[in-house]
Structure 1
Amino acid sequence: MTKRHVSLPTEADEGITAFIDQVDDRLSSSEDTCEVVRDTLVDLFGDRDAYERWQAGADVTPAERVRLQGYDPCNATLESEYYAEKDEERYTRSKHLQWLWRQFDATPMADNIDFALRFRQMLAKHLFAEAGDNLRLFKGISFTYGHNIEVGDNTVIHDDVHLDDRGKLTIGDRVSVSDSAHIYSHDHDVNDQTAVENYHTIVDDDARVTYDSMVRAGCRIGKNAVVGAKSTVQGDVPDHHIVAGSPARDIRVKPGWESVADPVEEKLVNRADERRIEYDLPDDLDTFDEFQRDLTPPDGVDAPEADD
């Protein structure tokens, strides 16, 4: 669908540009990322006066203290922080930037499309392993770490999409990922859900992953391919093909692309094992099993892995 150009009033645009440039400059400097995130959130939430009074030693209620402390990402924990195999050095900065991304989305300004898209584009340049030009990153996007994501140019990712980069996630140029889609790069053993395998998941150039669909870890969505709404992809989607269903099946080739596309196959081929990412855990890692289950099958046979 053809879009029309929309612009903000000059004064508003100048203010937004100055703010984004300021945050960008601070994140690009040697300044502590925690401090940059804290200061940015204090001001975005309009809490500067209360924060400075608290820093000066004024009495605050326990609830106020929690709120004011919460602007600092060093005072927060995220689910991915508990993952044993994470890269500790890379994760520290990624966590701070992810906190800024999430809390920005909780502000009223996150609904100002022009401002929000430009702000997230700037953050993506600092957070992702690679962030192309002219990205359109909408509200409610979540990710595991952020630093294992590569996104090409002119790609759009809509509301409430989950980009799991516990393994590695590559999204190409001119890709469209619709609302509420989930793209995974890790999977769990069907018997022992604490046993995690990481993979490289790929959504290639010009592909579309449509509404509320799920792409399993280690799959490749081919160039110019389409994943139908509410589909579950458990294998590779060939270039120029349309798949749909749960599990997704190959329906047809996109009209006009028949001469350059492979023949339609009913069942998608799963090549996830070719894209497995191995990792080692430190010998002195302090781990815990949150489930404390007896995982020994009575028949002594391991079951195949299941989808996340």
Structure 2
Amino acid sequence: MTKRHVSLPAAAADGVDRFIESVDERLSGPEDTCEVVTDVLVDLFGDREAYEAWQAGEDVSPATRVRLQGYDPCNTTLESEYYAEKDEDRFEESKHLQWLWRQFDATPMADNVAFALQFRQMLANHLFDECGDNCRFFKGITFTYGHNISVGDNVVVHDDVHLDDRGKLTVGDRVSISDGVHIYSHDHDLVDQTHVDNYHTIVDDDARVTYDAMVRAGCRVGENAVVGARAMVQGDVPAHHIVVGTPAKSVKIKPGWEETAESIDDGRLTHRQSEREIHHEIDNEVEIFDEFQRTLSPPDAPPTTPEAAQDADTPPTSE
């Protein structure tokens, strides 16, 4: 056993429980989510007096006004808000919840582990498509949307992890994701960077993805497998295998599982991304623009349209 039980003093624990329960009830009730998030953030940042003065029409400095407006997620934008293929209806609420998650992490309370883990578990229950029990989400975790993520029981996600759910991300029971990990569910085309393909990425039960590793979109990390530090997974990791390197290769099977695990030649991982592609359509009313305006054809070659570039036999790249 590597951990010991630690608890807050009774009075502090009671305060934490009351606060989290009150936010949970409000998010579950009929109140507008945007208003709930605004109200909670105003109090978390200790800005109630200034906020009410501003709401009452009193003069505030331009900087103060921007700060107070920023508690309301309706006055903000996130990077994922610009993605043309996003589900507008689902994103409307998940944006507000994601803003509360991100801004909570900017408060001093985010470093109070006993409080912060309970608060993020409660938020995950509302934000994710599914979230199991007894999960531990540490500081600095980011998502694309949040609503395309499913997480099992007893999952731990450490500091500064990015869980990309532009496609779909499924994480099984008892999974451990270490600091700095990036798990993707979308890829960009090599020729036309503006073309994006979305995939279903899976991390199965009891798997471990360790420090600073990257899992490419559409890959599967098998049950009880281990992805070594700073490895780059670009294929499916078989159950019980340990993979390391760039690109990641299997170097051994976890001791005791040799008779159970499948064998693979040369440690090379099988690429099954195409089997997990998620097809999407963009609403015709969405105005799409190309922020790069790059030339897609080499000099003296016939002009290449974005559509032709998308059909080229070139592998996509993770962002």
Fold conserved between structures, TM > 0.5: yes
Deviation at 1:8, TM superposition (A): 0.2
What are the residue-to-residue correspondences of 1:1-308 with 2, within 5 Å? 2-265=2-265, 266-298=267-299, 302=312, 303-308=314-319
CA deviations 1:102-148 (Å, max 9, x no partner) are 00000000000000000000000000000000000000000000000
What secondary structure, in the 3-state scheme, does the structure 1 residue paired with 2:66 have? helix
Question: TM-score if structure 1 supplies the norm length?
Answer: 0.98
Identity %: 70
Q: Within 1, Cα distance between the matches of 2:58 and 2:271?
A: 61
Q: Within 2, Cα distance between the matches of 1:149 and 1:297?
A: 39
CA deviations 1:223-260 (Å, max 9, x no partner) are 00000000000000000000000100111100000111
Q: Within 2, Cα distance between the matches of 1:77 and 1:241?
A: 41
Q: Within 2, Cα distance between the matches of 1:85 and 1:263?
A: 39
Deviation at 1:304, TM superposition (A): 2.8
Q: Is the CA contact 1:251–1:264 (under 8 Å) kept in the aligned structure 2? A: no
Give ranges in structure 2 of 5+ residues lacking alignment. 303-308
What secondary structure, in the 3-state scheme, does the structure 2 residue paired with 1:92 have? helix
Q: Is the CA contact 1:34–1:96 (under 8 Å) kept in the aligned structure 2? A: yes
Coordinate RMSD, CA, aligned = 1.0
Q: Within 2, Cα distance between the matches of 1:230 and 1:242?
A: 13
CA deviations 1:19-57 (Å, max 9, x no partner) are 000000000001100000000000000000000000001
Question: TM-score if structure 2 supplies the norm length?
Answer: 0.95
Q: Is the CA contact 1:252–1:264 (under 8 Å) kept in the aligned structure 2? A: no
Deviation at 1:292, TM superposition (A): 1.2
Deviation at 1:297, TM superposition (A): 4.1
Deviation at 1:295, TM superposition (A): 1.3
What secondary structure, in the 3-state scheme, does the structure 2 residue paired with 1:258 have? coil
Count of aligned residue pairs for this structure pair: 308
Q: Within 1, Cα distance between the matches of 2:10 and 2:281?
A: 53
Equivalent residue letter for 1:273: S
Q: Within 1, Cα distance between the matches of 2:316 and 2:214?
A: 17
Q: Is the CA contact 2:186–2:318 (under 8 Å) kept in the aligned structure 1? A: no
Q: Within 2, Cα distance between the matches of 1:117 and 1:69?
A: 27
What secondary structure, in the 3-state scheme, does the structure 2 residue paired with 1:251 have? strand
